[in-house]
């Protein structure tokens, strides 16, 4: 029998990385057509992107840090879904070092252009 309180207690006991993984699993079962986050050599330098797009995870992490919320992101990028954003946040939470490095690399590239 499903007991909401028991499930909630178990979820709250998870580490952030475990929570991110649980979200990815749940998202995949809710949206079977989604492949989540992919890395493709030659596409955006092999960066982690929303599947079947050229939209890197670091971009959304950066936009969120600048104050954009999910509703705004879905409006700015109408071809992605709420499930895509769940995958983005879960991936970002589970791979913080990778995303932080990608953000530093982008900052350096922007500085080089100036």
What CATH number should be reported for the domain holding residue 35?
Answer: 1.10.10.10
Domain tally for the chain? Answer: 1
State whether the Cα torsion 55-57-58-59 is positive or negative: positive
pTM above 0.85, yes or no: no
User: What residues contact 18, with CB distance under 8 A and at least 6 apart?
Assistant: none
Give the span between the Cα atoms of 21 and 26, in whole angstroms.
9
In a domain, 76, yes or no: yes
Determine contact, residues 107/113, Cβ cutoff 8 Å.
no
Buried residues in 48-60 as b, exposed as e (16+ CB within 10 A): bbbeeeebbbbbb
Q: Which of 92, 95, 90, 87 is nearest to 30 (CA)?
A: 87
Boundaries of domain holding 99: 15-113
With respect to residue 77, please indicate whether it lies within any of the assigned structural domains.
yes
Instruction: Give residue-wise pLDDT tens across range 20-53.
Output: 788 777 766 555 444 689 999 999 999 999 999 9
């Amino acid at each position: 029998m499903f007991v909401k309180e028991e499930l909630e207690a178990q979820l709250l006991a998870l580490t952030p990385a475990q929570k991110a993984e649980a979200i990815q699993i749940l998202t995949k079962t809710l949206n079977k057509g989604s492949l989540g986050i992919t890395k493709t050599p030659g596409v955006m330098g092999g960066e982690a992107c929303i599947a079947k797009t050229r939209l890197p995870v670091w971009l959304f992490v950066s936009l969120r840090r600048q104050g954009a919320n999910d509703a705004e992101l879905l409006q700015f990028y109408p071809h992605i879904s709420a499930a895509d954003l769940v995958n983005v946040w879960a991936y970002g939470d589970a791979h913080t070092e990778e995303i932080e490095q990608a953000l530093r690399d982008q900052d350096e590239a922007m500085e080089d252009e100036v």
